[in-house]
Every structure is written in C-alpha cells, then in structure tokens.
C-alpha cells in the first residue's frame, strides 16, 4: 500500500500548480455554498482538517479555532501555506491520513472535503480519523462517491480510470459503507445529498 500512497502523492504533486484552476468551474458554481454549509457544523476549539490540499477551506475557519491541516502532498501544502501566512490559528503539517502521529482523542471536530476519493486505503484512513477524534466529537465530510443509481454507478465504474490515472482520485468510492467498516455507527451518521446522490455532506457523532 505504501507504493500506492507514493504513486498518488506524486500525482497530486504533479497537478498542484494547476489544481485550483482545474476545480475553479465547480468551485464557482457549487462548492463554495457546500463548504459554507459544511463549516456551520463545526464544534469545539481543536479542529483537524484531513487532506487540506491547497488550502481552499482555510478562509472558512474562525480565528477562535485551533486548526491543524494535514496533507501527504508537499507541493499541495506549499499552496496552502501561501494562503495561511496571515492565519496564526492555522498549523499545516505534511502527514499521511492513514498513519497520523496525533494522540488518541485529540480533536473536537475532524473535517474532510473531497478527500476520501484519494486515500489509497480509505477504511484505514477513516479508522485513523475515528481514533484521533474525541469520544463524542464530530466528523464532518463533504465527499463525492459512487452513485447508487444502477446506470450512473456502472458508468462511474467504467470511467474511473481516467481521474485515477491523471491525479489519483477515484469517483466510485462507497464512502458510507467504508465508514461502517471503519467502526462508525450507522445510527450516529446522517447525510444530505447536495448533488444527486453523488455528492454528500456527512455528519457523524463519534461514539466509541
């Protein structure tokens, strides 16, 4: 799996210079509104963002939060660091979501935003999130995943190789299923479809 991590990391390093440009159409149409809705759900003071990328979410954190952002792509982090120069409440670190170095029960809220399409072993990454989030804390996610509609789902399976080989993103991940495999309770998980059944805002109460 380490080889997969390095392969995807290198792909994100490669596209880091144009990543924001690639996503600008979707950002301008929809993503900003979805991000604002996501960040209304944050609780507590100590916040972890997994897969901070180029730092698109940093503007949404209020200065009374202690925000730690991690990413395994050093080139993406360079972009994020440029955006956080005037944000003393933000700390950015190069770190793999599957192998975090934080102590158990460190964070009040863990945030992800279009991340679990790219984590090579998503269940392992979600287990790490569950570990570092406090008991009773919150996990909030804005994620795209495989459609449950038979025709759309099959199309996503067939074309998945295209984004996977360009920048390392899977468009057919089954994230709700992966959350349960990682130990999160189904009854403590709620979600809202924000674009068909492909993009969801997920809210989890982390009961251990």
**pLDDT tens readout for residues 162-202:** 999 888 899 999 999 999 999 999 999 999 999 999 999 99
Can you list the domains of the chain with their CATH numbers?
Answer: 2-206 (3.40.50.150)
Q: What gap in Å lies between CA 79 and CA 91, rounded to an integer?
A: 14
- Do 16 and 78 contact (CB within 8 A), yes or no? yes
pTM for the structure as a whole: 0.94
pLDDT band at 12 (very low <50, low <70, confident <90, very high): confident
Burial of 182 (0-12, 13-18, 19+ CB in 10 A): middle
């Amino acid at each position: 799996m380490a080889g997969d991590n390095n392969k995807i990391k290198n792909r994100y390093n490669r596209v880091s210079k144009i990543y924001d440009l690639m996503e600008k159409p979707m950002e301008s149409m929809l993503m900003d509104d979805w991000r604002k809705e996501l960040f209304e759900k944050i609780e507590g003071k100590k916040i972890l963002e997994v897969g901070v990328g180029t730092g698109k979410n940093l503007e949404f954190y209020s200065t009374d939060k202690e925000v730690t952002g991690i990413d395994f792509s050093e080139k993406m982090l360079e972009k994020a660091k440029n955006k956080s120069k005037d944000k003393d409440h933000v700390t950015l670190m190069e770190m793999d979501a599957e192998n975090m170095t934080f102590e158990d029960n460190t964070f009040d809220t863990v945030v992800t935003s279009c991340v679990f399409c790219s984590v090579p072993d998503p269940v392992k990454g979600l287990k790490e999130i569950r570990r570092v989030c406090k008991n009773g804390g919150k996990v909030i996610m804005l994620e795209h995943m495989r459609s449950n509609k038979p025709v759309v789902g099959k199309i996503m399976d067939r074309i998945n190789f295209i984004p996977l080989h360009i920048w390392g993103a899977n468009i057919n991940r089954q994230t709700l299923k992966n959350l349960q495999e990682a130990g999160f309770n189904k009854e403590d998980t709620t979600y809202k479809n924000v674009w068909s059944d492909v993009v969801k805002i997920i809210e989890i109460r982390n009961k251990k």
